[in-house]
A and B are shown apart, each in its own frame.
Chain A
Amino acid sequence: MNLLTYLINGISLGSVYAIIALGYTMVYGIAKMLNFAHGDVIMVGGYICFITMNYLHMPGIAGVLLAVVVCTILGIVIEKLAYKPLRQATSLAVLITAIGVSYFLQNAALLIFKADPKVFTSVVNIPSIKLFDGQLVISGVTLVTIAANIIIMVCLTAFTSKTKMGKAMRAVSEDKGAAQLMGIDVNRTISVTFAIGSGLAAIAGVLLCSAYPTLMPTTGSMPGIKAFVAAVLGGIGSIPGAMLGGILLGIIEIFAKAYISTQLSDAIVFAVLIIVLLIRPAGLLGKKISEKV
């Protein structure tokens, strides 16, 4: 029964990683940039939700909605101000700018909210489910996280395959120049991608803080890196890959913590990434692009 508990916890943690990884993977697919500020958007989402619930005394759902709205706007603003002028620049220049944005968000949060950790009250008040005579307890947060992950995945798959905007996104990620010639507004498509990614980051932030209720200006950095690893594990640029990578990573992390060593769990997670990349250099579901000579 322990095994099942760990598995469910793993899927739950993995779902959070997967939602964050979606943001990474979509942005990478379309803008070919590693958006290191993504992890800090999670933190912003967490704080917005925290404020709405604790200072404005609104219900949790309002907090989630407000966090999504604020982060979506934040994502668009960051893209317009910091990344758009660098469309023609080298990928390293964009990377450093993203790091600058990440520093900015973290330090702004440090000034506004101070360094002391805030205790985040869970937005989920569904009672936990007991199965097998109470041997298996699944908390409400876990259920909501997994459900949210499934809903997001279904919606996003439908969005990218059915809607005009989704098709435009795929076209831009495949060939920016050709997409532009077909009349697609590349800049707008990239903005929408950032908006969706940041909105998802807000949801992930709220879910993460509900499950692990401490909120600090640096809350987003480690989950951000892990989610980035998840995106690469699944094959960066691929949406199902991000899902698979995220959930696998969550399960591996929880199992490593439970059966091997709590302190070394991070090292194990990263070691798995390295092994996978050595066997499949483009990630699990990534497309291998053969080199033209």
Chain B
Amino acid sequence: MKNIKGKKLRSNMITYLIVIIAFVIIQGLSSGGILTNNIKGMLVPICAYICMAISLNLTVGILGELSLGHAGFMSVGAFTGVVVTLCLETSVSSGPLRLLIAIVCGAITAAIAGVIIGIPVLRLQGDYLAIVTLAFGEIIKNILNNTYIGLDETGLHFSMKDMNALQAAGGKVLLNGPMGAIGVTKLSTFAAGFILVLVVLTVALNLINSRTGRAVMAIRDNRIAAEATGINITKYKLMAFVTSASLAGMAGALYALNYSTIVPKKFDFNTSILILVFVVLGGIGNIRGSIIAAAILTILPEMLRAFSNYRMLIYAIVLILVMLGTNNPLLKRKIGEFREKIGLSRKAIDMTTEGGDRDGK
């Protein structure tokens, strides 16, 4: 038991170290002027996507339920963050403080959305659950597309129809339906992104290694057996789902405050899928894998810029080939043998692939 605990601790430390070292190196490269502007502009989105991947991995890998609407939570966090910063523009002058408030508010609203969505969704199972999360993601996008928020001396105004009534009063438009939010001050920095990644990572790893995390994983592996041992299924499932949602909300706020305009359409089904791709390629249930996959796959299209128009085509082909390659039984066995040779025990490998195998029964 002690041995396993020590191993886990070591593994977690390695993950933290990777993140910190990556930050130091990139910061160094950045101040050395080696990074191109394109790459520099992608640093904050990469941090946001890493947080999203960790957050989705909690749902897919630890809770074991497929979510196809995770961008919905990101969207809730993003627009909460934007509205909050725009409201506080005059009263809170410090940028980092405003960013912090925005991220916290984003996390809270996304968590509320997580509770509202989680209660009905978690009653379902398997592919039905997946399609309902997809539906919720689309509903959130659709509602935000029709939300108009304005601000004047009397306070916040809210409408689902159009902006006219709010504009006539002489207030400021914060959220303009499908046009989204315009004129947002860019508050997110790479350092803020790095800190958020560390926070999200700490929350996720602590959750996984806690009593709650073990209960959630027990439900994932065998719901009936878990229930029989007295685990409150609904409570723990909801707990994991809401945590995941609030982390996504934080990532959303960070992401949105990196741009001067942000539209609800940005967080559609394709974004949800993009994040799912990070999680699956990084290894389901493997947090470190998610981080690496999210970083590499966000930069990949940028790296493929040399192929100009063909880059998304190549991205698609790479995606298919990686899936075919990693699921090739022959290759899988070879990797297993190789790992055994270099001393990694079979058990460690099983633990990382376990989450995925369960679906294939």
Residues of A within 8 A of B (CB): 28, 34, 36, 82, 85-86, 88-93, 95-97, 99-101, 103-104, 107-108, 110-111, 221, 225, 228-229, 232, 236, 261, 263-264, 266-267, 270-271, 273-274, 277-278, 281-283, 291, 293
Contacts and interface: CB of A to CB of B under 8 A. Distances in A.
Interface in B41-81: 60, 66
Most chain A CB within a 10 A radius of its CB, from B224, B312, B320:
B320
B132 A111 contact: no
A229 B135 contact: yes
Nearest to A231: B131
Interface string B327-338: 111000000000
B139 interface: yes
Most chain A CB within a 10 A radius of its CB, from B277, B284, B313:
B313
A278 B120 contact: yes
Given A97-B320, A97-B324, A90 B123 contact: no
Contacts of A100: 316-317, 319-320, 323
Given A100-B316, A111-B309, A271-B139, A263 B146 contact: yes
Nearest to A105: B316
Given A86-B327, A100-B319, A229-B131, A266 B359 contact: no
Interface residues of B, number: 47
Contacts of B280: 92-93, 95-96
B65 to A, nearest CB: 11
A266 B137 CA distance: 11
A276 to B, nearest CB: 10
Contact of A99 (B139, B273, B284, B312): B273
A264 B276 CA distance: 26
29 contacts: A82-B320, A82-B324, A86-B323, A91-B360, A92-B60, A92-B66, A92-B356, A92-B359, A96-B280, A96-B281, A99-B273, A99-B277, A100-B317, A101-B320, A104-B313, A104-B320, A108-B313, A221-B269, A225-B134, A228-B131, A263-B145, A264-B146, A266-B138, A270-B135, A270-B142, A273-B132, A277-B124, A278-B123, A281-B124
A225 B323 contact: no
Interface in B96-150: 120, 123-125, 127-128, 130-132, 134-136, 138-139, 142-143, 145-146
A232 B130 CA distance: 11
A15 to B, nearest CB: 21
A103 B316 contact: yes
Contact of B317 (A90, A104, A274): A104
B313 A291 contact: no
Nearest to A111: B309
Given A96-B280, A228-B131, A270-B138, A291 B224 contact: yes
Contacts of A282: 128
B128 A277 contact: yes
B359 A232 contact: no
Contacts of B310: 111
B150 to A, nearest CB: 18
A81 B136 CA distance: 33
Nearest to B320: A100
B357 interface: yes
Interface string B276-306: 1100110010000000000000000000000
A280 to B, nearest CB: 10
Interface in B10-66: 60, 66
Contacts of B139: 266-267, 270-271
Contact of B327 (A28, A85, A263, A283): A85
The secondary structure that dominates the A interface is helix
A264 B143 contact: yes
A93 B135 contact: no
A291 B125 CA distance: 12
Most chain B CB within a 10 A radius of its CB, from A95, A101, A110:
A95
In the complex, the 9 A-B pairs of residues with the closest C-beta atoms, listed nearest first? A103-B316, A270-B135, A100-B319, A267-B142, A104-B316, A89-B327, A100-B320, A90-B360, A107-B312
Contacts of A225: 134, 138, 269
B215 to A, nearest CB: 20
Contacts of B319: 96-97, 99-100, 103
Contacts of A89: 323, 327, 360
A228 B320 CA distance: 22
A232 B315 contact: no
Contacts of A36: 273
Contacts of A283: 128
B213 to A, nearest CB: 21
Given A92-B359, A273-B131, A107 B313 contact: yes
Contacts of A264: 142-143, 146
Nearest to A34: B127
A5 to B, nearest CB: 25
Contact of A86 (B60, B276, B324, B356): B324
A195 to B, nearest CB: 20
Given A225-B134, A263-B146, A274-B135, A93 B124 contact: no
A96 to B, nearest CB: 5
Contacts of B312: 103, 107, 110
Given A225-B138, A293-B224, A85 B320 contact: no
Nearest to B324: A85
A96 B177 CA distance: 32
B314 to A, nearest CB: 9
A100 B297 CA distance: 13
Contacts of B134: 225, 229
Contacts of B329: 88
Most chain B CB within a 10 A radius of its CB, from A232, A283, A293:
A232
A108 B281 CA distance: 23
